[in-house]
Amino acid sequence: MTVSNQTETDPPTVLFEYPLQENIRSYLRLESLFKQFNRNHLASNKDAHFLALKTLFEILEILERGDTRSELIKELARLIGYFHALEKNPQVDTSKLDQFLKQIQRLQQWTNNYKGKFGESIRKQPFIEAVKHRTSIPGGSCQFDCPDLFLFLNKPHLQRQNALKQWMSDIKGVETSIEVILKLMRDSAQWVQQTAPMGSFILETAENPIKLLRIKQQGQLDIFPEFSCGKHRSSIHFMTFNQQRKKIPLNSKVQFELACCN
């Protein structure tokens, strides 16, 4: 979920996204973690750099257990084929298309040439192994439990930043690939104004497989959607909270914008 506010007087816009495919679910999780890492890495204080390090561990864990590499190879190849087909369209700006194709081809080449699982060389570093293990234990980041981390966090902040940047550079291609794939997917869908009578909305998906659902609401910070998605149809149920902060169904009409990305 993201919240934006154009001006101080405009009502806030709330954006929800829900993946309908497992690889998109992984991409969204990694996108969120990469953003967290970048925010904390750019800071200069110890706590932010500790959070950046823990975020890096989460990224490495996802990349270790998933098949992100094979999924990225397939998706980048699909995009290359799609944009090659657009070259025959006389209405397409071929110079911009050529630049974009070259970027995707570079990402595909990087992905194909990467040796082993993403992040394997980072995971094998003694410092990363030691700190990752200790910080997985509640309270394990204490100085007496993890002197490696204690010494790292007491280095000058530029040294810490450079170390974090160096570790992330090994998997930078993953971040860029996911960023490009998700941007293209999001940009391909049109926003459509919809109404959910009594707080529920049914979406038929049998003839048009959808990868990602996006819902945009204005000025409704106490309402959120829950999704129930199947092969042939998806349901969106809008929820709210009662005074005890227990979520309950909303039984009134809801206006929202919907984008279906495929």
Q: Which pLDDT score, from 0 to 100, does residue 18 have?
A: 94
Output the pTM of the full model: 0.90
Residue 59 · residue 33 · CB < 8 Å: yes
The tokens for 142 are 């204490």
Q: Which pLDDT score, from 0 to 100, does residue 243 have?
A: 87
Burial 2-16 (b: 16+ CB within 10 A, else e): eeeeeeeeeeebbeb
Q: Which pLDDT score, from 0 to 100, does residue 178 have?
A: 96
User: Domain 33-184 adopts which CATH fold?
Assistant: YacF-like (1.10.3900)
Which uninterrupted H or E stretch holds 204? strand 200-204
The answer to whether residue 6 scores a pLDDT higher than 60 is: no
| Average confidence (pLDDT) over 207-222 | 85
The answer to whether residue 50 scores a pLDDT higher than 60 is: yes
Which uninterrupted H or E stretch holds 112? helix 94-113
CA–CA separation, 207 and 133 (whole Å): 47
Cβ-Cβ contacts under 8 Å for 229 (sequence gap 6 or more): 18, 20, 205, 213, 235
Domain borders along the chain are: 33-184, 193-261
The answer to whether residue 8 scores a pLDDT higher than 60 is: no
Question: Regarding predicted confidence, which is higher, 123 or 67?
Answer: 123
Q: Which pLDDT score, from 0 to 100, does residue 58 have?
A: 96
Strands 212-218 and 254-261 come out as antiparallel
DSSP H helical ranges for 114-241: 120-123, 126-135, 147-153, 157-169, 172-187
Helix axes 68-86, 94-113, angle to 10 degrees: 160
pLDDT in tens, 85-121: 877 777 777 777 888 888 999 999 999 999 888 999 9
The answer to whether residue 254 scores a pLDDT higher than 70 is: yes
User: DSSP assignment, residue 243?
Assistant: T
Backbone angles phi, psi at 102, to 5 degrees: -65, -40
| Average confidence (pLDDT) over 43-51 | 94
The answer to whether residue 152 scores a pLDDT higher than 70 is: yes
The answer to whether residue 208 scores a pLDDT higher than 80 is: no
Helix axes 126-135, 46-65, angle to 10 degrees: 100
CA–CA separation, 201 and 227 (whole Å): 10
| Adjacent-strand bridge partners of 215 | 16, 258
The tokens for 96 are 């911009």
Full 3-state SS string of 60-91: HHHHHHCCHHHHHHHHHHHHHHHHHHHCCCCC
Give me the count of residues in the chain: 262
Q: How many CB atoms are closer than 10 A to CB 72?
A: 24
pLDDT in tens, 221-249: 889 999 988 777 889 999 999 888 899 99
Q: Which pLDDT score, from 0 to 100, does residue 7 have?
A: 56
Q: Which pLDDT score, from 0 to 100, does residue 95 have?
A: 78
